Structures are given as structure tokens and as C-alpha cells.
Amino acid sequence: MEISDLTVTATLASLVLDEAETQKLGDEVSRMLSYFEKMSEIDVDGLEPTTHALQKENRLRDDRRLSNEAQPDELLECAPDLEDRFILIPNVL
Amino acid sequence: MYQSFIGLEIHIHLDAETKAFCGCKAHFGDEENTNVCPVCMGFPGVLPTLNEKAIQMSYTVARALNCKLSPNTKFERKNYFYPDMPKNYQISQFAEPVGRDGYIDIEIGDSIKRVRIHDVHFEEDAGKMIHAGDMSLLDYNRAGYPLLEIVTEPDLVIGEDAEAFLKSFRRLVRYLGVCDGNMEEGSMRCDANVSINLKGAGLGEKVEIKNLNSSRFVRKALNYEIERQSGMMDEGKAVVQETRLWNENRDQSEPMRKKEDANDYRYFPEPDLPPFRPSEEFMQDVENSLCEMPLVRKQRLMNSYGLSSDQAEYIHEEKYMADFFEQAVFSGAEAVQVYSWLSSDVKKLLNRTGLSLEDCPLSAERLAKLISMIGDGQISGKIAKKVLDYIFDEDKDPETICNEKKLVQISDPTAIGKIVEDVLAAHAQVVEDIKAGDARQMGFLVGQVMKASGGNAAPPVVQSVLKEKVLG
């Protein structure tokens, strides 16, 4: 794997890597990619890609409100900072 | 010398009770972060489940847009980092959307244009953010709201086309009952892309414009952008691919971000949501939820009832009004009369009372009866307007109101003759003037008789009786 590819991937994943980490990850990711290359060798022409192997039927929900064990207020308590009921974060605009 | 190409991406909120993948209420205007749960707030370990009604509405829209419907529709994660989506991806569709390769015929001016639909895909809306000072405020009530995106091919040419398209599309989703189409409140949103090129040279560099909150802005923004790009081409400058924001205060588009650092969304199949395979029964329900398309309806209103294009345009704007119209005609009223009442007196009353046709006390049968009572000479047009007021006030049938209020037209010449004699006696000088040749005064006498009859006398009878008594 080219180091530049790794840098782009890291940026997309919002990861900040220093030079040592880049070097270390570069080797590891290259090894992982080689496993995928191995899989790519298999001839899958004419096969439809499968995303879910064990699905027997549709999994649907009626359009009906459900009460939840976790109350909104409890969920809000997990936020780092609140203003009234808004979650407050540094400006991201 | 240049040719322009416009494509639209329209998002509509599907009018479901709950969100796309969880049982939270899908509703605006509630207190911030009250309609939230671990699923739509992106807590670890949660499992999204597809809302059946929302996916059915999606198939209905795709079907109404003549799309090829997917027998096996799939969900993907669209990855990006922005706090409007706490789980760092949006569940959307990419490889196998609900529908693709459709079209819709729309009316632009006097001609019908076919606009191709690239695809219709289902996704979830993001939360709402307010940026204030050095902080941003987050409200996730809207996160996970069921959203449908409709992408057109670049078949539109100028801003007016796009405006006409949006109006037609809005009407369509309202007919289907899947969205209220309110652009101001954001339940229908539109992004546009536009490119220009020398004639015959194909598409140019695509510029995307966001923040178009009304169909009027869409028209203005696109025409502005076509002008801007034409100006650049004239000067030999290259148009760059970018996203621009429409600034409604300055009436201009402004650069937002260049495409070279555009997001790579790294779509991949959503492991938590299996594909959806519509059953025969589901597809039958979709068929059953279709209705006559607005444009077809408009043409039928013109052909079957003799309405003009403008009249049919007015009547077909809302499905309920078109249904009401046809019901009134079916009950025996003349089509143009029904149109006239709906477009004038009824409309005024609806505006004044703030009611909609659907929930006002006037039914199609009541309107038809009112019109037939005028036709039969039971009441005058003037009395009918009073009766209409009473229908709105008292929620009663027109005959009942006429009986209770003694609003009956007097058309018996003998009865009118008595009123006329009283009026003539009170205005002897006027009678003399008329006899001497001042015919203009006749109108004054008609007015006096009408007033004396409480507005109930039949005007044609009043005129003939007056003529007879004054001029002999």
C-alpha cells in the first residue's frame, strides 16, 4: 500500500497519525489488503453479491410508536454538555 | 450559443407516524431531543428496523414516477463525520435503490415535457444544528426521520422548468398523501445541479446549488447560475465543479466547497438491515395506493367538463378540491358554476375562516343544492351568497337555512307589484322624471324595490313590473 493511500484513508476516518504510526499501520494495512487480494483471486463471475447470507424473510416494523427503556433524558446525560435540551458542542460550521 | 442542463435532487419527508428505523415519533415542533432513542442517537449496539409504511410510501412514489421497482432493495451506510448524524454514517441506498429509470410528464407553459428520473432512494434524515457564536447546538428529533430522495436526469433547461417541475412534483406527493410538500418547513427540500456547454457539446462541468427553500428560489438561483457560467464561458474561463449556496438576501450563489476535496462516502452494505424483498401482497398495496395523476386529472377535467386550462389548473391543484368538484357536478350542478363558486365565494370564506375545504361545513352536495336552487329561481344569486355564509356559520343544509331565515326569492309579480306601488308612491318626482324621458332613474327605482323586499325580490321580475307600472 502506498503511504499516500493510507494518509487519505486516515483523513477520511478522521484519524491523526504521526510518522511512526503511519509506518507501523502501513505495514499492517498492507498485510490486511493482501488477504483481500487473495480473496479477489476467486472467480465470482455470474454470482450476485450477497450481503446477508441467512435472511429468510423481510424484517419490518409497524409504523407505530414504541416506548423505550432508555428515556431521552437519560440519553442526554451522556452528552458532554447541554444548553437546555440542546446538546452543546464547539462550533463546527 | 450555449445549452444548459439542469437536474434536481429532491428530498421529501415521508408522512409516517414514526422514524425510518426506530419507533420514535416523527414530528416537528416538539421540544428539542424529546423524540429520540438509542437507535436514532447512534448508541452502540442498537439494531435498526425498517418502518413498513415508510418503505411502502417509497415504492408508491417510485411507482407513480414510472420507475423500475427493485425486487430486492438494499441499504448502505454513507460514511461522513459531522455531528448532525451521531453515528458517523447515514443509512441510505446506493447499489439497489427502491426504483430507477422512471419519468414524469410535467406541464411547462403550454407544452408537456417528459423528465427522466434517475433513481428514487430511501434514507434517514440528519439532526438539526444551530450554529451560534463559538458553539453549535444539536437537536436529534429529526435524526432518523424517513426521507425519500428523488434524483432527476439533467433534462430541464432553465429555472422556469425547474420551478414548474417542483410544483408538479409537490402536487403529486400531495395527491399520493405521502408528504405535505411544505418547502418552508423543510418537509420538501431541493438541491439543483446545472451545467452549460456549447450547443451540441454535451454536458459541461456540474455545479451544485444548495439552500433552495422555495420553488421561486430554485428558478432565480438556476437562472442566476446559468448567467454566471455563460459569463465565464464568454470570457474564456473554465467553470469548475463545485457546490454553491444560494444567498436569498443577496440574490446570488456563493461558493461553498470545491469538489476536489469532496467527501468520499465509502458506501458499504448496512450489515444491520437485511435487503427488503417486496411480496406480491405488498406490491398490490402499492398499486392500490396510487391515484389518478394530477396532469391526467387536469386533462380529464378539461375534456369531460369543458373547463378551460386555467379553470382546470385551479380545480386540480388539490386532490380534495378536484374530488369535491366532481362530486358536486355528479350531484347535478353545472361544472362552470361549481368552478365559479369554488374559485370566488367559497375561496373567500375559506380564507376568512381559516378553514380548509376538507374540514369546512360545505359539502359537495350542499354546494350542488345551492346552485340548483338558484337555477330553479328559488333564490337569487345574491341570496345564495348569504346562504353560503350561513352554511359556514351554522353547518346546515341550504334548504333548512332558507326556510329558517325566510330567504326565499319573491318572483310572484303580484307580490312584487305591491312593493313597486309603495316605492312609486314614495318617489313620485322620480316617476315624473322618467316619464319625461330620464331613463337613467329607472335603476334607482330597481334599487329601492330590491331594498324594500329585503333583497329577496327576483330582479328580472322587478324590472318588468316596474317598466309596466311606470311606462304603462
ipTM for the predicted complex comes to 0.87
Chain A (49-78) residues lying within 8 Å, Cβ to Cβ, of chain B: 51-52, 55, 58-68, 70, 72, 75-76, 78
Query: Mind listing the pLDDT tens digit for each residue in B62-119?
Result: 999 999 999 999 999 999 888 999 898 999 999 999 999 999 999 998 899 999 999 9
Query: pLDDT per residue over B416-427, tens digit each?
Result: 888 888 888 889
Domain co-membership, B330 together with B305: yes
Cβ of residue B387 closer than 8 Å to a chain A Cβ? no
Considering only residues A4 and B314, tell me which one the structure prediction assigns the higher pLDDT.
B314
The 10s digit of each residue's pLDDT in B223-234 is 999 999 999 999
**Three-state DSSP state, A44:** coil
Q: What is the predicted pLDDT for the residue at B402?
A: 86
Nearest CA in chain A to B26: A65
Residues B55 and B151 in one domain: yes
Q: Are residues B337 and B200 in the same domain?
A: no
B253 lies in the same domain as B355:
no
Of all residues in chain B, the one with the smallest CA distance to A60 is B50
- What is the least distance, in Å, from the CA of A48 to any CA of chain B? 12
CB–CB contacts below 8 A, A to B: 121
Residues 227-266 of B with CB under 8 A from A: 263-264, 266
* CB-based contact B13:B146 (threshold 8 Å): yes
A89 vs B contacts (CB less than 8 Å): 83, 135-136, 138
- At B160 the pLDDT is 95
pLDDT confidence of residue B258 = 54
Instruction: Render pLDDT for B15-26 as a digit per residue (tens, 0 to 9).
Output: 999 999 999 999
The whole-number pLDDT of residue A1 equals: 64
| Predicted pLDDT of residue B410 | 81
Averaged pLDDT, B389-405: 90
Pairwise CA distance, residues B161 & B167, whole Å: 10
B376 with B420, same domain?
no
Q: What is the pLDDT of residue B1?
A: 79
Nearest chain A alpha carbon to B33? A85
Contact A64 B43 (CB under 8 A): no
From the list A8, A61, A78, the residue facing B23 with the nearest CB is A61
Give the model's confidence band at A67: pLDDT under 50 very low, under 70 low, under 90 confident, else very high: confident
Sketch the domain layout of chain A as residue ranges.
3-40
Contact A86 B41 (CB under 8 A): no
Which cell is B112 given? 408537456
What is the extent of the structural domain holding B301?
Answer: 292-405
**What pLDDT was estimated at residue B342?**
96
pLDDT for res B259: 44
pLDDT, residue B364, reads 95
Residue B460: pLDDT over 80: yes
Q: With an 8 Å Cβ cutoff, are A60 and B140 in contact?
A: no
| pLDDT computed for residue B260 by the predictor | 45
Residues of A in contact with B36 (CB under 8 A): 72, 75
Tell me the pTM.
0.87
What is the pLDDT, as a whole number, of residue B442? 86
Instruction: Give the span between the Cα atoms of B23 and B35, in whole angstroms.
Output: 9
Where among B286, B301, B322 does a domain terminate? B286
Q: What's the whole-number mean pLDDT along residues B120-138?
A: 94
Is residue B472 over pLDDT 80? no
What is the H or E stretch that residue A71 is in? none
Nearest CB partner across the interface for B137, out of A58, A70, A86: A86
Cell of B244: 454553491
Q: Are residues B219 and B99 in the same domain?
A: yes
Q: What is the pLDDT of residues B343-364, one digit of tens each?
A: 999 999 999 999 999 999 999 9
User: Which pLDDT does position B257 carry in this prediction?
Assistant: 62
Mean pLDDT of A27-31: 89
Q: Are residues B49 and B183 in the same domain?
A: yes
pLDDT of residue B105: 96
Enumerate residues 6+ apart whose C-beta is below 8 A from B386: B405, B407, B455
Which residues are bridge partners to A61 per DSSP?
B51
Supply the pLDDT for residue A2: 73
- Chain B, 110-169: which have a CB under 8 Å from a chain A CB? 129-140
DSSP state of A17: -
Q: What percent of chain B shows pLDDT beyond 70?
A: 99
| CA–CA gap between residue B124 and residue B145 (Å, rounded) | 5
pLDDT tens per residue, range B155-188? 999 999 999 999 999 999 999 999 999 998 889 9
B237/B106 same-domain check: yes
Per DSSP, what are the bridge partners of residue B73? B276
More confident residue, A55 or B120: B120
The packing angle between helices B459-471 and B413-426, to 10°, is: 60
Banded pLDDT at B263 (limits 50, 70, 90) = low
Q: Is B32 on the interface with A (CB under 8 A)?
A: yes
* Residues of chain B neighbouring A52 (CB-CB closer than 8 A): 271, 274-275
A40 touches chain B (CB under 8 A): no
* DSSP single-letter state for residue A62: -
Q: Is the pLDDT of residue B192 over 90?
A: yes
Looking at the structure, do residues B118 and B228 belong to the same domain, yes or no? Answer: yes
- Average pLDDT over chain B reads 91
Domain total in chain B: 3
pLDDT value of residue B380:
83
How far B278 CA lies from chain A's nearest CA (Å)?
8
Q: pLDDT-based confidence at B256, cuts 50/70/90?
A: confident
Distance of CA B371 to the CA centre of its chain: 27
Q: Same domain, yes or no, for B296 and B266?
A: no
Q: Tell me the three cell numbers of residue B166.
A: 417542483
Task: Give B129 to chain A, closest Cα distance, Å.
Answer: 9
B131 vs chain A: nearest CA distance in angstroms?
6
Last residue of a domain, one of B286, B311, B338: B286
